[in-house]
Amino acid sequence: MGQWKQISNEGGRKTGRPFDIYASGLQRMALEEAGFVEIVEKDIRVRNTIFHVLHERALVWSDAD
């Protein structure tokens, strides 16, 4: 998985369409250039798989018995 991230980020940079706009600071620079002044960055944890949904459904189904 780590190799995929490295390859896709490198490909994005080579094509001029980077995938790491947040990590590289590009997103913040673009917001500042657009005139935003009070930019707040906040890290949040987000589930990025469907397995948690399937697991929660399985728990609801098994609890109904």
For 10-61, what is the HEC assignment?
Answer: HHHHHHCCCCCCCCCCHHHHHHHHCCCCCCCCCCCCCCCCCHHHHHHHHHHH
**pLDDT attached to residue 52:** 61
Q: Tell me the residue range of the domain where 37 lies.
A: 2-63
| Cα–Cα distance for residue pair 28/39, rounded to 1 Å | 8
**pLDDT attached to residue 53:** 62
Q: Which residue has the higher pLDDT, 32 or 5?
A: 32
What total number of domains does the chain contain?
1
Q: What is the pLDDT of residues 14-65, one digit of tens each?
A: 998 888 877 888 888 989 999 999 988 888 877 666 666 665 555 555 444 4
